[in-house]
Structure 1
Amino acid sequence: MLEFDFTFFAIAVPAVLFAGVSKGGFGSGASFAATPILALVLPPEMALGILLPLLMLADVTTLGPYWKQWDWPSARNMMLGAIPGVVLAVLIYRMTNPDVFRFLIGAVAIAFVFWQLALKYKLITLRVRPVSNTTGYVAGATAGFASFVSHAGGPPVAVYLLAQGMGKTTFQATTVITFWVINCLKFVPYAFLGIFSWDTFKADLFLAPFMVIGALLGVKAHHLLPERYFFGLTYVLLMMTGSKLIWDALT
């Protein structure tokens, strides 16, 4: 039985606000951090069950402001790739230690930031060019799997989109539509696996307003920040999320 006491709200409200801001304005890269924060006071499965409907609420809240501003080919590739990623996660959810995948995803996120720094300081030179459809499928499959087991699909999506050199709003809008589909794919398997409960439903009712507020604040912050600061912050978030994933995997 989940107790809705001061400790729960002191941990859950900031975590949900943070996830909403990340979802609304900064590509979802750091929104996964709400899961381990909630897991400080809740069983991990309950943390997953509470967050999925809230993340879907953030998706709905931000679809309007970014409507049709996404890069559809990139979003489509990742959506198609996410289907086998989610299916695989469902099949092995009870059998496989997800720490291996957390470590790999975190390593890719951090390596990408160093790659971008090398480009910025002209340690290497490379022209931005469209990436292959296959790369999008792989990014989507990785995001689908990681999102299912820990709501940590942001880094592979960010790596795939940032590598194409797209503008900040196109980047953000593409993450919004992509994760709306991925989160919808996760909902039914979560229900069948027993991840949802009456307690998670009650928690969602209490926390839903904070997710909406966070998402709207994120949309506002997205439009206020200049593009170079936006991507600078995105790289910081990638470093944070990548490091946290590796830490979680190792500890």
Structure 2
Amino acid sequence: MDGFLLLDPQVLVAALVAVFLVGLAKGGLGGALGILGVPILSLVMSPVQAAGIMLPILIVMDWVSLWSWWGEWDKETLWMLLPGGLLGIAIGWATAALVSESAVKLIVGVIALVFALNWLRGQLRRTQPEPRPHSRVRGTFWGTIAGYTSFVAHAGGPPYQVYALPLKQSPRVYTSTSVLFFAIVNAVKLIPFFALGQIDVPNLEISAALLPVGALATFLGARIVKRLNAEVFYPIMYSMVALVALKLIYDGWVELF
């Protein structure tokens, strides 16, 4: 892929939509939007290249968010999740090096579909359990899954939420902790992405061209989250996740088998 990739109308539209939705997520709209970035880009390019283009944009957004939430994180949560997160990145690196693009497409699609189904399950369950205590075993497991899915699809949020949401932290502590976790994870991911050749000049040019869109979307996300009716918005977004996931699963399955 060359530096003129964005001149392709299909790629341009997919890139603008993907970065805009991820920016909205970073601005506060969260889960469903954030996971759409790589799957949407994967419809028009390699999933590994899509992740490589998104990574610099995500890192810039991470550090802006980190500045906004500095010092309000929970150290114990980070201690439980980060070792697994680093292990997950290593597993993702090995997967990207050894597994075909079709298999990665299938993996990304399954991740997205499981996320959508997990949201649906949450909507069907109306009980409110008591706060769950920390667990090294659960933290290492879900941290590993978060690191892996973050590496292959920048989709580490759902596994992180599986562990962190039952802790019933205050919104400020939860947000600050998740921001720091993914700021660290995304920064560490630069090493294997460089090694895989996905942080190169053409991809960085694309990232730089798309960064203003992400910045604008982050600002809009913060504004929209204060006004939007979540009961209407989130079902639409999660439906989009499911549709993109099914498309990627289909493409990956057909290419592999």
Category of TM-score, reference length = shorter chain: 0.7 to 0.9
Give the stretch that moved more between structures: 47-56 or 84-93.
84-93
Structure-1 separation of matches of 2:156 and 2:176: 16
Verify: 1:117 aligned to 2:123, yes or no: yes
Contact in 2 for aligned 1:13/1:207 (Cα 8 Å): yes
Give the stretch that moved more between structures: 59-68 or 1-10.
1-10
Say which of 205, 208, 215 aligns to 2:208: 205
Alpha-carbon distance change, 111 to 29 in structure 1, aligned in 2, over 3 angstroms: closer
Give the deviation of 1:197 after TM superposition. Answer: 2.0
Contact in 1 for aligned 2:47/2:105 (Cα 8 Å): no
Contact in 2 for aligned 1:78/1:139 (Cα 8 Å): yes
Give the stretch that moved more between structures: 24-33 or 198-207.
24-33
> Counterpart of 1:58 in structure 2: which amino acid?
M
Encode CA deviations 1:68-121: one digit per residue, 9 max, x unaligned: 23333223322221111111121232223346654664465345435433441x
Structure-2 separation of matches of 1:209 and 1:92: 31
Alpha-carbon distance change, 164 to 240 in structure 1, aligned in 2, over 3 angstroms: farther
Task: In structure 2, list runs of 5 or more residues that go unmatched.
Answer: 252-257
Alpha-carbon distance change, 242 to 32 in structure 1, aligned in 2, over 3 angstroms: same
Give the deviation of 1:9 after TM superposition. Answer: 3.4
Give the stretch that moved more between structures: 6-15 or 236-245.
236-245
> Counterpart of 1:181 in structure 2: which amino acid?
I
Structure-1 separation of matches of 2:116 and 2:134: 20
Structure-1 separation of matches of 2:178 and 2:18: 20
Equivalenced residues, count? 245
SS, match of residue 98 in structure 2: coil
Structure-1 separation of matches of 2:233 and 2:77: 22
With the length of structure 2 as denominator, give the TM-score of the two structures: 0.80
> Counterpart of 1:146 in structure 2: which amino acid?
T
With the length of structure 1 as denominator, give the TM-score of the two structures: 0.81
Partner of 1:126: 129
Structure-1 separation of matches of 2:250 and 2:106: 9
Contact in 2 for aligned 1:61/1:215 (Cα 8 Å): no
Root-mean-square deviation over aligned CA pairs: 3.0
Structure-1 separation of matches of 2:54 and 2:217: 14
Give the stretch that moved more between structures: 191-200 or 64-73.
64-73
Verify: 1:40 aligned to 2:43, yes or no: yes
SS, match of residue 72 in structure 2: coil
Alpha-carbon distance change, 9 to 247 in structure 1, aligned in 2, over 3 angstroms: closer
Verify: 1:5 aligned to 2:7, yes or no: yes
Contact in 2 for aligned 1:19/1:28 (Cα 8 Å): no
> Counterpart of 1:214 in structure 2: which amino acid?
A
